Chain A
Amino acid sequence: DTAVSQTPKYLVTQMGNDKSIKCEQNLGHDTMYWYKQDSKKFLKIMFSYNNKELIINETVPNRFSPKSPDKAHLNLHINSLELGDSAVYFCASSLGLASTTGELFFGEGSRLTVL
């Protein structure tokens, strides 16, 4: 019974294409996140939603658009993909806000390769 599940796990696509990554959590958490992990394993937050409301929006290009249809889902859509978008994207969730509980539950990641 996967707590935080992401699809697809692997995504290979051409520059300029548009792609989406889906995330769902069955933990009953009210906060969800997208993190990007680059080839050097550096992990950087992109977005965070709390009860479907955007609470963190780092300096991410407008080509990235998160969507939270309900508090169990946070999808990431990327337009006009570029080579630099190649990375592993992790979805995570937490009960309450990360600054107080600290415990994030991560999905297994979606490896995006842009050719």
Chain B
Amino acid sequence: AQSVTQLDSQVPVFEEAPVELRCNYSSSVSVYLFWYVQYPNQGLQLLLKYLSGSTLVESINGFEAEFNKSQTSFHLRKPSVHISDTAEYFCAVSALGNEKLTFGTGTRLTIIP
């Protein structure tokens, strides 16, 4: 069975500062990895995903994540955050042969003006 760990439940960051949200996974088979974002009182939206190919994936709003197989990580980064990035961020994993998409416990990103 696969699992996801997001060690940081809350991350406060000053506006225009860089941020990294950590995600580690566990699986005995090949995985697909995802980051979802949940803005207040809304459903989750896919931010970016790694299925295969280049280990560095990017979103349209400046976030990027790098799949690191040796460290079983898929950390999310942004070089300069904005107030509008305030949201809950969820890392998720699915493993080949398992139809479940398993979510981490989420990291609340708070941007300080």
Contacts and interface: CB of A to CB of B under 8 A. Distances in A.
25 contacts: A4-B43, A40-B105, A43-B44, A43-B106, A44-B103, A45-B101, A45-B102, A48-B99, A90-B43, A92-B43, A92-B44, A97-B99, A98-B100, A98-B101, A99-B95, A99-B96, A99-B99, A102-B49, A102-B51, A103-B46, A103-B49, A106-B44, A107-B43, A109-B42, A109-B43
Nearest to B50: A102
B100 A102 contact: no
Interface in A1-31: 4
B64 interface: no
B97 to A, nearest CB: 8
A76 interface: no
A55 B102 CA distance: 15
Contacts of A98: 94, 99-101
Contacts of A41: 38, 88, 105-106, 108
Interface string A103-115: 1101111000000
B45 interface: yes
Interface in B15-51: 32, 34, 36, 38, 41-46, 49, 51
Given A40-B105, A108-B41, A102 B94 contact: yes
Nearest to A103: B46
Contacts of A45: 100-102
B98 interface: yes
Nearest to B49: A102
Contact of A99 (B36, B43, B98, B106): B98
Contact of B94 (A40, A55, A99): A99
B67 interface: no
A42 B36 CA distance: 13
Interface string A28-62: 00000000000011111100100000011000000
B74 interface: no
B90 interface: yes
A45 B43 CA distance: 14
Nearest to B51: A102
Given A4-B43, A108-B42, 10 more contacts: A41-B38, A99-B32, A99-B98, A100-B32, A102-B34, A102-B101, A103-B46, A104-B36, A104-B46, A109-B42
